[in-house]
Amino acid sequence: MLPGPTNVPDRVLEAMRRPMINHRGPEFHRLHESIVEGLRYVFQTKGDVYALTCSGTGGVEAAIFNVVDPGDKVIMPVGGVFAERMAEEVKSVGGGVIEIPVEWGRAVRVEQVKEALDSHPDAKAVALVYNETSTGVTARGLKEIGELAYKRGVLLIVDAISILGGDELKVDDWHIDICVAGSQKCLACPPGLALISVSERAWEAMKARRTRQSFYFDLLACKRFYEERRETPFTPAIPLYYALDEALKMLREEGLERRIERHRLCASALYRGFERMGLKLFAEPESRSNTVIAVEYPEGVDDTKFRSTLRDEYGVHVAGGMGKLRGRVFRVGSMGVVSKDDVVYTVEAVANTLNKLGFKVPVAEVIAEAKGVFS
């Protein structure tokens, strides 16, 4: 139950065993087309989509490096580790960050973005993290932010690494110009690929640029190679392409709406179970993520001891806090192929672990509470 890499179904693991193929040959072209079709479905876009051989952070680097010239202003709400990382990327290419400081555990308000746009009519882009993996916060106002940015002619760049496939995200309808996701999160694929969508407006901005920041992450080259030959500019991680293709097929078999509903139910059961234990949830109620659940430790419960007991005695892996939340919270990933059984078992294991560590929890009632969500 990590916030990525998540468990990978056998079908997807099995797909990786296929022999290598020439990435400049017809078999690869067909595989690539199939992946693009699957990605368009999950991103809900008719636009361009790519699978880059790198981690999600590499995908964010591609998004930023292809759009931001030195001196460009980018409006960025910052309320967690991954938003901070994205802001560093902007600064590292000489971009100016117009930061909207957001309290950790809360989401940016649409009004704040509007004010920043009013004060900085020359901004080139708004860039934000839709689902902040470090705090378990989802920016629920993304649709409205997209409309605002679109009306002002400002690009919208979204880090959706830990949420694509697990919650609402409509790239075209919401006017998202560049959207980045990771293979190892809600798609239940192994890590190693960043998935990225690019709008027409983003292509125009890229073509108009004065500089080029990266050779490896050149999205215009990705576009050229895909359109002309159904290929990638550089050798792709072929086994991961096999895996992604299979994972996207499984997602289409389930259906995106049903997958999102399953994520909602599972997250809801976790939230209710943890609350019934008397634990404090880190995210404000209206911004709670359906894919990453951050929970504050009660007084006297030690992070390392809690997570190692949970892992060694119950086989449940959860993550610790990041940045200034290290030691203060634990984070449960509720992503990918997560099921009712996984969730109820996790709630029970956390309850038992807390009891062992001296924090009294009514285990049976907690389990009933979590199960209740599914009935």
222 touching its own copies, by CB under 8 A: no
4 touching its own copies, by CB under 8 A: yes
Give just the sign of the alpha carbon dihedral 362, 366, 368, 369: positive
Which listed residue (13, 36, 98, 110) binds its own copies by CB under 8 A?
A: 13
Smaller CB distance to its own copies: residue 24 or 224? 24
146 touching its own copies, by CB under 8 A: no
Which listed residue (8, 68, 126, 163) binds its own copies by CB under 8 A?
A: 8
Helix 363-372 and helix 256-276: axis angle, to 10°? Answer: 150
Segment near its own copies (CB under 8 A), from 51-59, 98-106, 119-127, 351-359? 51-59
Three-state secondary structure along 65-109? HHHCCCCCEEEEEECCHHHHHHHHHHHHCCCEEEEEECCCCCCCC
236 touching its own copies, by CB under 8 A: yes
**What span, in angstroms and rounded, lies between the C-alpha atoms of 183 and 243?**
9
238 touching its own copies, by CB under 8 A: yes
5 touching its own copies, by CB under 8 A: yes
352 touching its own copies, by CB under 8 A: no
CB of 336 to its own copies, least distance (A): 10
229 touching its own copies, by CB under 8 A: no
- What separation in angstroms does the CA of 19 have from each of 13, 14, 22, 183? 13, 11, 10, 21
DSSP state of 331: E
Give just the sign of the alpha carbon dihedral 12, 17, 19, 20: positive
**What span, in angstroms and rounded, lies between the C-alpha atoms of 131 and 338?**
18
- Alpha-helix runs per DSSP H in the chain: 10-15, 26-43, 56-67, 81-92, 110-119, 142-152, 200-207, 219-229, 238-254, 256-276, 303-314, 340-356, 363-372
Residue 364 burial (CB count, 10 A) = 9
Smaller CB distance to its own copies: residue 60 or 251? 60
25 touching its own copies, by CB under 8 A: yes
CB of 149 to its own copies, least distance (A): 24
134 touching its own copies, by CB under 8 A: no
Which listed residue (213, 287, 289, 353) binds its own copies by CB under 8 A?
A: 213
245 touching its own copies, by CB under 8 A: no
**What span, in angstroms and rounded, lies between the C-alpha atoms of 187 and 185?**
6
Which listed residue (37, 151, 235, 261) binds its own copies by CB under 8 A?
A: 235
304 touching its own copies, by CB under 8 A: no
**What span, in angstroms and rounded, lies between the C-alpha atoms of 50 and 110?**
29
Which listed residue (35, 39, 50, 56) binds its own copies by CB under 8 A?
A: 56
**What span, in angstroms and rounded, lies between the C-alpha atoms of 369 and 230?**
50
The answer to whether the CB of 294 falls within 8 A of the CB of 328 is no
Size, binding site for its own copies by CB under 8 A = 53
Smaller CB distance to its own copies: residue 1 or 145? 1
CB of 55 to its own copies, least distance (A): 4
**What span, in angstroms and rounded, lies between the C-alpha atoms of 350 and 356?**
10
Residues 157-196 as x/- pattern, contact with its own copies by CB under 8 A? -------------------------x-x-----xxxx---
38 touching its own copies, by CB under 8 A: no
Using CB under 8 A as the binding rule, the residues of this chain from 76 to 105 that contact its own copies are 85, 88-89, 92
Residue 286 burial (CB count, 10 A) = 11
308: Cβ contacts below 8 Å, ≥ 6 apart? none
240 touching its own copies, by CB under 8 A: yes
Smaller CB distance to its own copies: residue 239 or 362? 239
Residue 247 burial (CB count, 10 A) = 29
Smaller CB distance to its own copies: residue 65 or 297? 65
User: Given the rule CB under 8 A, which residues bind its own copies?
Assistant: 2, 4-8, 13-14, 16-25, 53-58, 61, 85, 88-89, 92, 182, 184, 190-193, 212-217, 233-240, 243, 311, 317, 319
